[in-house]
A and B are shown apart, each in its own frame.
Chain A
Amino acid sequence: MAISTVATAPELAAPRRPATAGRTLWRFVRKKPLGAAGALIMLVIIVTAVFANLVATHDPLATNAAHTLARPSAEYWLGTDNLGRDIYSRIVHGARVSLIVGLASTLLGSALGGVIGLLSGYAGGKVDLATQRVLDILQGLPLLVLALVMSAALGPSISNVVIAISVPIIPRAARVVRSSVLSIREMQYVEAARGLGLSHLRIAFRHVLPNTVGPFIVLCTAQLGSAILVEAALSFLGLGVPEPYPSWGRMLSISAAEYAHKAPHLVMFPGLAISLAVFGSNLLGDALRDTLDPRLRGA
């Protein structure tokens, strides 16, 4: 009782201005400027992706033999590639592809991994042990190698690339959620729920899951950057998103490297785009982590 009085006393003592969304946002920006910058970058990229048709200046797929490997100019803001396609427009539309692939694979992998981690952590015992070993196996295989083999196994298509990239994410997501579950599982309110006779599944999803949201969001933002990078590497090796979708990664692959000596902008701009997207998501992820789950700061 004494504790609650102390806690609420300052509330009564000094009247505060109501916390509007705007003020919360401003506080976030002031407290975590890097995070705000990251959020801004991600917002720009998302808006570009969604409104790609409006933001782009040319058709990203239209070839133009007369203007191959043109330097950046008023007409072609970032120059053209070896087929005369406008690089700026391809980067804009590529944002859509890279973002979709990145988000889809991250969400797919994190969701699957999260469910596995949740059930495994909650169930405990032999089930947990066995699941851990299986996850160890998946995690032990290096990310790119696993994605490479999966991509070769499934063949070149957008959905297959999403699946291929999501698979290495599953064990990592499961790990994070599981550790979160383990710490929550022993808490009093869960015991109370059990005492009340609620089924395990219900407890798992209704009570434990919501409390893992914080670490889960952090995980997603962290993995998004990684997913975009893996997609780029796969495309570079020829196994990523296939034509005609403009993918940042594939813009950097074979044809870019060949012509790069004459037209370095072919290599610079898609690479900068990828770096910026990953940078933004990492900044945002860091800030979210610091805010939502300070326990994970060391992770």
Chain B
Amino acid sequence: MKSYVAQRLAVALLTLLGMSLVIFLLLRLAPGDIVDILFSAAGYVDPQDKKAIMQELGMNRPYWVQYLEWIRGIVTGDLGKSYRYELPTWQLIRPLLPVTLELAALAIVIAVLLGVPTGVVSAIRQDSGLDYVLRVLSLAGLSMPSFWLAMVIILSLVAWFDWIPPMTYVGPSQNLRLHLLQFLLPALAVGYRSSALIMRITRSALLEVLREDYIRTARAKGQTPGLVVWRHALKNAMLPVVTVIGIEFAFMIGGLVVTETVFNLPGVARFLVQAIQWRDYPMVQNLVMFISIVVILSNLAVDLLYGVLDPRVRYGH
């Protein structure tokens, strides 16, 4: 088991290193840099000024030097300074993390609470009217653009209640009710999508398992169908479902970007969009690395969970 974990960790680190290189190069591929954006804000261009600012920010050094400095910084804990705000990037990222993490966590909880039970019901009542309705509803959730759902929610709130959630962050200690309102609505917008995926996976995984011989045996032995479902089928069906939950957490970032923008939540995703537009290389690099780390960690957690849940994986790999 230990070597399995160690092997996986080594692979994860290598992947992260690769990702850092890709994002570093991709960013510099984009035309324009922070100085061009600053010129845009100032309404004029002067090549002399550009040279001076690039020197001040250390951007005129060769790429490999800048890359190594960034990597070294990550290892030593100094994530560099934002080009736009001239403050340490960690200082800017830190308040964003809890917002995005809370939103993602709430979205996953909603997704699981919505997705798993509907998936179970749909599987048990396969091909019935209810099954079709649930499948159509969940597919509708997967088909809607997440930002559209967010926009529709805001529009409806204004039209029906003449109210929208607070535009600045309200902490749980300040006003719990407002805080929950502020987070539950966007979490619903993001979670509905994920719930659709989880519902489909739960349904198909459960269907697979229900067809297995040992289930038929249990039923033949006379065990009540409910017990059969719970005891045998569901536990084994959970494996792919857990996998999807882990992967969904990472994939959610896309949905979070637009949701945070529409609902004006001060999270990582919204900041990332601004940082890309500003060509704020240190911010984008570190934000994307953070997201990648979350993705890799969740994949790792899923892999490890696989190893725990499925003994075949542990020993036969």
Contact, CB under 8 Å: A144 / B257: yes
Contact, CB under 8 Å: B147 / A140: no
Give every chain A residue within 8 A of B27 (Cβ-Cβ): 149, 153
Q: Total A-B pairs in contact (CB under 8 Å)?
A: 142
Give every chain B residue within 8 A of A283 (Cβ-Cβ): 139
Is the CB of B30 closer than 8 A to any CB of chain A? yes
Give every chain B residue within 8 A of A282 (Cβ-Cβ): 139, 142-143
Is the CB of A47 closer than 8 A to any CB of chain B? no
Distance of B262 from chain A, by nearest CB (Å): 8
Contact, CB under 8 Å: A133 / B11: yes
Contact, CB under 8 Å: B18 / A267: no
Is the CB of A72 closer than 8 A to any CB of chain B? no
Stretch at the interface among B55-63, B152-160, B304-312: B152-160
Given contacts A232-B145, A271-B152, A34 and B132 within 8 Å (CB-CB): yes
Is the CB of B75 closer than 8 A to any CB of chain A? no
A interface residues, tally (CB under 8 Å): 45
Cα A277 to Cα B292 with chains together (Å): 31
Is the CB of B242 closer than 8 A to any CB of chain A? no
Is the CB of B167 closer than 8 A to any CB of chain A? no
Contact, CB under 8 Å: A233 / B254: yes
Contact, CB under 8 Å: B148 / A155: no
Give every chain B residue within 8 A of A138 (Cβ-Cβ): 22
Select the residue from B11, B145, B272 with max chain A CB neighbours within 10 A.
B145
Is the CB of A118 closer than 8 A to any CB of chain B? no
Is the CB of B77 closer than 8 A to any CB of chain A? no
- From B135, B201, B291, A145 is in contact (CB under 8 Å) with B291
Select the residue from A136, A142, A150, A264 with max chain B CB neighbours within 10 A.
A142
Closest chain A residue to B193 by CB distance?
A: A229
Closest chain B residue to A257 by CB distance?
A: B151
Cα A277 to Cα B143 with chains together (Å): 8
Distance of A40 from chain B, by nearest CB (Å): 14
Flag A145-160 by CB within 8 Å of B: 1 or 0 each. 1001110110100000
Contact, CB under 8 Å: B152 / A267: yes
B interface residues, tally (CB under 8 Å): 53
Is the CB of B26 closer than 8 A to any CB of chain A? yes
In chain B, residues 243-266, which have Cβ atoms closer than 8 Å to a Cβ of chain A? Answer: 250-251, 253-254, 257-258, 261
Distance of A220 from chain B, by nearest CB (Å): 17
Contact, CB under 8 Å: A297 / B135: no
Given contacts A133-B14, A233-B147, A257-B151, A142 and B30 within 8 Å (CB-CB): no
Distance of A105 from chain B, by nearest CB (Å): 15
Contact, CB under 8 Å: A233 / B258: yes
Contact, CB under 8 Å: A140 / B155: no
- From A134, A137, A261, B158 is in contact (CB under 8 Å) with A261
Is the CB of A143 closer than 8 A to any CB of chain B? yes
Distance of B190 from chain A, by nearest CB (Å): 12
Contact, CB under 8 Å: B155 / A145: no
Given contacts A145-B272, A153-B30, A278-B143, A261 and B155 within 8 Å (CB-CB): yes
- From A136, A150, A229, A233, B26 is in contact (CB under 8 Å) with A150
Given contacts A134-B18, A141-B288, A264 and B139 within 8 Å (CB-CB): no
Is the CB of A15 closer than 8 A to any CB of chain B? no
Distance of B164 from chain A, by nearest CB (Å): 11
Is the CB of A225 closer than 8 A to any CB of chain B? yes
- Using A278-B142, A278-B143 as known contacts, list a sample of 7 further A-B pairs with CB atoms less than 8 Å apart, ordered by residue number in A: A140-B299, A141-B288, A145-B253, A225-B142, A233-B145, A236-B147, A260-B155
What are 14 pairs between A and B in contact, CB < 8 Å? Answer: A133-B14, A136-B11, A137-B18, A138-B22, A141-B19, A142-B251, A148-B257, A149-B30, A152-B276, A233-B146, A237-B261, A252-B145, A257-B151, A279-B143
Interface residues of A (CB under 8 A from B): 34, 133-134, 136-138, 140-145, 148-150, 152-153, 155, 225, 229-230, 232-233, 236-237, 249, 252, 257, 260-261, 264, 267-268, 271, 274-279, 282-283, 286, 297-298
Interface residues of B (CB under 8 A from A): 11, 14-15, 18-19, 22-23, 26-27, 29-31, 132, 135-136, 139-140, 142-148, 151-152, 155, 158-159, 201, 204-205, 207-208, 240, 250-251, 253-254, 257-258, 261, 272-273, 276-277, 284, 288, 291-292, 295-296, 299
